[in-house]
Structure 1
Amino acid sequence: MKLLLLISVLLIISTCYASPHHKKKSPRPNQTNPRNATANRLSFKQPTLCDPTVVQYSGYLEVGENEHYFFWFFESRQNPETAPLTMWLNGGPGVSSMTGLFEEVGACQLNAAGTDAIYNEAGSWNKVSNLLFLDQPVGAGFSYGNKKINSTEEAKTRVYEFLQLFYEALPKYRNNPFHLFGESYAGHFIPAIASYILEKNQAPDLPMDQHINIESIGIGNGITDALVQVQYAENMACYSSYGPVLAEKDCHEMRRNTPICVNLLQRCDDQGTVEDCNQATAYCSKHVENIFYRSGRNIYDIRALSTGNAGTKYNRFLNTRAIRKKIGAKTPFHRAPPDVHRNFYNNGDYARNFAPDVANCLNNGLRVLLFAGDADYRFNWYGIHGWAQVFDFNGSEEYRQQILLPWMIDGQEVGQVQSGANLTFVRVYGAGHKVAYYKPKEALQMFTNHINHLPM
């Protein structure tokens, strides 16, 4: 009773309500048999920004003591009661998932003046799925608190606890298929979180109402196995389909230094110490990956100059007091706080290999989608396709026997695809690091096919 009264009060004081044009009544967050602590850990609004035709919730769940995690949820435009629930995470580590919401797969985009949030008609994934965007870890975006998270291992437990609290507050979505998607450093986060969900799901003492119905994961231009992926840095910088961007002497330097980098990363894998992993990260960054900067090109889009900046226009909009009030944000917006990034890197997290977690997902029946814009250097498509070719899981031989085939949409070849044994890799032509930013139509079609179990 105490919980229901609190939630009712929160709804009354919310400054925004569901659109009057919405044909159904907005459901209130509630639960049966709630945990007693949840009432004191929930704070939200019901904004009508971007897509007023659907139910939205935005605000905070307190995951730990003084750990306030900001989320923004959009119902699906199609059958939200049965549509999948997809959580999107950006990378960094520490990049706000409002990036995904405003510039990639979400319902929002800014008008030309940058003064108003309008619907992302070309590519919002809420056309086919309920969407949940989470700022994590603490410090990213609007999330705040006094707990410093400095590893993927720590972050995964916070995301799991957040999901349990979210489902407690909105139990109507718990039985919907759950998909976990993200990009870039989420190549660490996504496999670790999914593997942790599977571990918790398999615990014999887990209450039935805490089971998470996870079905698949998706990673866009992600860093998952640095040891394999770094070996393709030279290939992308010097021999890609977009032509070389480095002088031959720079290519030779990358080639000469790569074996040393690989040996250091192997030691990180074998020993697992912070010192070993930090040494590998420092050497590989300076003597292999960062040689690319001599090109003057953008690491996220090899076709653009380094001064180019795809996206990130929403910062000022989200930092206006009026918008923060509408969405229940309690702090200024920090798109990519450097201290979060630094904490992870100083703890050796970057160099660690999360391909075994992907294997665990596949071995437990989850479907895995790896996709990559082929103009991205940072975590380029050669490296992603490369690590997918060499890691072992129950169906790895079946996958390796397949080849890259044309990926067609409306009679046009828009990329390449390789698929087998629940693992699919998609190369997206002409896209940089943030695939959906460059190719919204193709990204939406890819996602729609994936969640509907349709071949690419």
Structure 2
Amino acid sequence: MVRFNGPTFVVLLLFQGVAPVLGRQVPVIDGIIGGIPKSDPIIGGNVFKLQTNISTTPGQLRVTENSGICETTPGVYQASGYADLTSTQSLWFWFFESRSNPGNAPLTIWLNGGPGSSSMIGLLQENGPCRIQNDSSGEVALNPYSWNNVANMLYIDQPVGAGFSYGDTEVSTSQEAAEDLWTFMQIFFSDSRFSKYADLDFAIWTESYGGHYGPVTAAYFLEQNAAILNTSILGIPINLKVLGIGDGLTDPASQYPSYLNYAMNNSYHPLVGEDVFQNANATMFRPFGCLDRINECAESDGDASTCGLAQLICNEFILTPLAGDYDVYDVRALNPDPYPPDISSYLTNPNITSHIGAESTWQESNDDVYENFALTGDWMISSLPQLEFVIESGVRTVIYAGDA
């Protein structure tokens, strides 16, 4: 049994929606972090946006190689472009070969959270070959600590609609997102430019809503591998060896109560006053309060209305008040904090986008994607069963958290 007892687990990156502009991985809806749009008539509906006029090449990649953007280390291969899942759905990726021994280095995919946030956040603000500068210039500099020092890194904007990805925004659950990622990897490994990476060790690293994405995707990949092995489907097995989750939302029933303790008893200072804490504490444990609603969601087997109501109540009366006025990346600092710097000017610069082959306007977080997930109640559905399955299957798993 996997349990989450640490009070800091998930808190900080789940709070990334506090900031109005910088690093927005969790949308703020009507002032509520991770809220549900109240203008939508029913939970369980959708806001699918169809864009059927898109002309693509289903089942194939469209690639720009060695653009010279971001990774400037001599001799290091990079590629960016689209995997066309269907004639109206295209996922954006940016691949960087390892700076060291790429033929034996693992292939690692990186997924940011949201749901609906771009993985370019991770690339440019966190662990990619270049990092946005903290000087308002909108320029990047080579990152000597990039993860592609030791791994072949593949950043994917998913689901469709996130970041540079575009097309019909139909995905509304973590399971559907996992299925699209499987299709993406099949297309990627089928391409002659990337087939050589299929036999390498494979890792999934993710954060924030990746507490859902990571376990669900890893479990689905393992299930598909088994189906290939018993010949019930055709496909390229994925050599999954590692799952890494940073500050992830995985099991709301164990994690939401820990927010109360963290808000008042973290290593630095209380995030809120006693009155805010007492109100949140009462809402957490009263009959039909937050914890009861989370448990009802679990008992309902993922019913959209039941789980959506849990998200609405818990995020309005627990998550949002307990965030306080402190910076989402460094709880030692008050908002607004200019770090990490905004990446939108860089990713909307025509001189950049034309060189890397981006064909759509970059979005840090796609509201349509987020609302699709919100209306299915996916947020409050535990991914603990999938996480346990992945660990018990022998996949090395790292779960980490940070607050400053």
> What's the TM-score, normalizing by structure 1?
0.71
How far, CA to CA, are the matches of 2:377 and 2:331 in structure 1?
A: 27
Q: How many residues align?
A: 337
SS class of match (2:332): strand
Aligned 1:154-233 pairs, distance under 5 A: 154-169=176-191, 170-203=194-227, 204-205=230-231, 210-233=236-259
Which has the greater radius of gyration? 1
Q: In the TM superposition, what is the alpha-carbon distance from 1:322 to its structure 2 partner?
A: 1.3
**1:355 Cα deviation after fit:** 0.9
CA distance in 2, matches of 1:221, 1:199: 25
Aligned partner of 1:339 among 355, 368, 380: 368
- Write the distance in 2 (CA, Å) between the matches of 1:186 and 1:149: 15
For residues 385 and 180 of structure 2, what CA distance do their matches in structure 1 show? 21
Shift of 1:338: 1.9
CA deviation string 1:243-291 (max 9, x = no partner): 2122112211222111221111011011021010011111111221211
- State the partner residue of 2:32: none
Please give the per-residue CA displacement for 1:317-343, whole angstroms capped at 9, x wherever unaligned: 110111111110001111112222122
Alignment of 1:129 with 2:151, yes or no, is yes
Q: Which runs of 5+ in 1 are unaligned?
A: 1-36, 376-430, 432-456
**CA shift for structure 1 position 207:** 7.2
**Structure 1 range deviating more: 254-263 or 217-226:** 254-263
Change (3 A) 1:314 1:168: same
Matched with 1:278 is 308
**CA distance 1:196–1:312, shift in 2 (3 Å):** farther
1:323 equivalenced with 2:388 (yes/no): no
Specify every segment of 5 or more residues in structure 2 that has no aligned partner in the other structure, as ranges. 1-55
* Percent pairwise identity: 35
Partner of 2:13: none
Q: Secondary structure at the match of 2:309?
A: helix
Quickly say closer, same or farther: Cα 1:145–1:356, change in 2 above 3 A.
Answer: same
One of 47, 53, 61 as aligned partner of 1:42 = 61
State the AA in 1 paired with 2:292. Answer: N
- TM-score, structure 2 normalization: 0.80
Offset of residue 117 of structure 1: 2.9
- 2:190 is paired with a residue of what secondary structure? helix
Q: Is the 8 A contact 2:161 2:168 kept in 1?
A: no
Matched, 1:250 2:284: no
Contact 2:130 2:143 in 1 (8 A): yes
Amino acid at match of 2:274: E
Shift of the alpha carbon at 1:109? 1.2
1:117 corresponding residue in structure 2: 140
| In the alignment, structure 1 residue 237 sits paired with structure 2 residue 263 | yes
- One-letter amino acid of the counterpart of residue 154, structure 1: E
Q: Does the 8 Å CA contact 1:71/1:132 hold for their aligned counterparts?
A: yes
- Establish whether residue 151 from structure 1 lines up as the match of residue 173 from structure 2: yes
Which letter maps to 1:98? Answer: M
- Partners of 2:337 and 2:94 lie apart in 1 by 29
Quick one: which amino acid aligns to residue 154 of structure 2? L
Residue 138 of structure 2 contacts residue 343 of structure 2 at CA under 8 Å; is this kept in 1? no
Post-superposition offset of 1:110: 2.8
**Contact 2:205-2:243 at 8 Å conserved across structures:** yes
**RMSD of aligned residue pairs (Cα, Å):** 1.8
Task: Establish whether residue 268 from structure 1 lines up as the match of residue 297 from structure 2.
Answer: yes
Matched with 2:4 is: none
